[in-house]
Structure 1
């Protein structure tokens, strides 16, 4: 069975929206962490807003290792409308998101990533289909913006790994307890 892995950049106060506003000092440890996360993934689920933003940016990007990964991986987009922008290996999620991801989880393959899409991550966490939550916590307070964990039901997480990067980011890997 595949694992569903949520990977998010968040501020110290839990904001995940617009990480460019609080995340500006990437370092080699954060880079290696990202490489280890995406190294096991062969599919990604994105929300429509993230897809639209990323489809404009990543095809021309040379920011590695993520550019090669996101441009070649299968991308499932949670949206009710046709995609306006063409991007390699992108397809619209057929049917209801949680049911689609539960089915995807049962198929053969690598891990399925959820990157940047707050509403998708929240829906999947609330439905209990996420296996791992991997956070990079920036040493900044954003003060405002959508928070990743707002509105979720109580859940228990098991700490799997934690590390501090040279720039002061906390790399926190959790397994969602069943």
Structure 2
């Protein structure tokens, strides 16, 4: 059974996007180290999950790009949670139905390789509520936005155990956590 890995960059104050959805602060720390880390993660992935907003951003960007990451992003199976979209134009993208938790559990059972959830804080909150995320990979950007979209919503409580940490020369720290589940 595959694991579901959340991969996100967030600020020191816990935001994954600015107040108006801006992500330009990602570019401030993008470089060879983060690119290498991203490429290594891609080799682990059997599919990607997105919420609608992240899907729209990715589908508007990757089809026109070239290179290793672009080839991967355009070819890999993509699963999208959306109440607004009825069809998806990006290659190999599929809409999830109304039973999100059940469908994601089935995807995990059917995939030989891990599934990755990129961005999508609202979708992530739904998956967290159903205890479907098996690993949290969070790149902490040394930036404070002051407001925006938080990764962890008020009222979400969980205990996590650190399994790895890695500091990059840009000041980003990549933290890897697994949930501590009651036995």
Q: Fold match, TM over 0.5? A: yes
Give matches, 1:60-71, under 5 Å.
60-62=64-66, 64-71=67-74
Query: In the TM superposition, what is the alpha-carbon distance from 1:76 to its structure 2 partner?
Result: 0.8
CA distance in 1, matches of 2:113, 2:145: 34
Q: Do the aligned partners of residues 133 and 100 (structure 1) sit closer, same or farther apart at CA in structure 2, a change above 3 Å counting?
A: same
TM-score between the two structures when normalised by the length of structure 2: 0.89
Alignment match, 2:57: 53
Instruction: Answer yes or no: is 1:116 the counterpart of 2:119.
Output: yes
What secondary structure does 1:26 align onto?
Answer: coil
**2:46–2:111 CA contact under 8 A, matched in 1:** no
Q: Is the 8 A contact 1:22 1:141 kept in 2?
A: no
Output the aligned Cα RMSD: 1.6
**Counterparts in 2 of 1:148-159, with a 5 A limit?**
148-159=151-162
Is this contact kept in 2: 1:30–1:171, CA < 8 A?
A: no
Residue by residue over 1:20-61, the C-alpha shift from the partner in whole angstroms, topping out at 9 and shown as x without a partner, is 232222122222222222221111111111112221111002
Compared CA separation, residues 165 and 75, structure 1 to 2 (3 A):
same
* Unaligned stretches of 5+ residues in structure 2: none
Partner residue of 2:146 out of 139, 143, 146: 143
Post-superposition offset of 1:19: 5.9
1:11 equivalent in structure 2 = 11
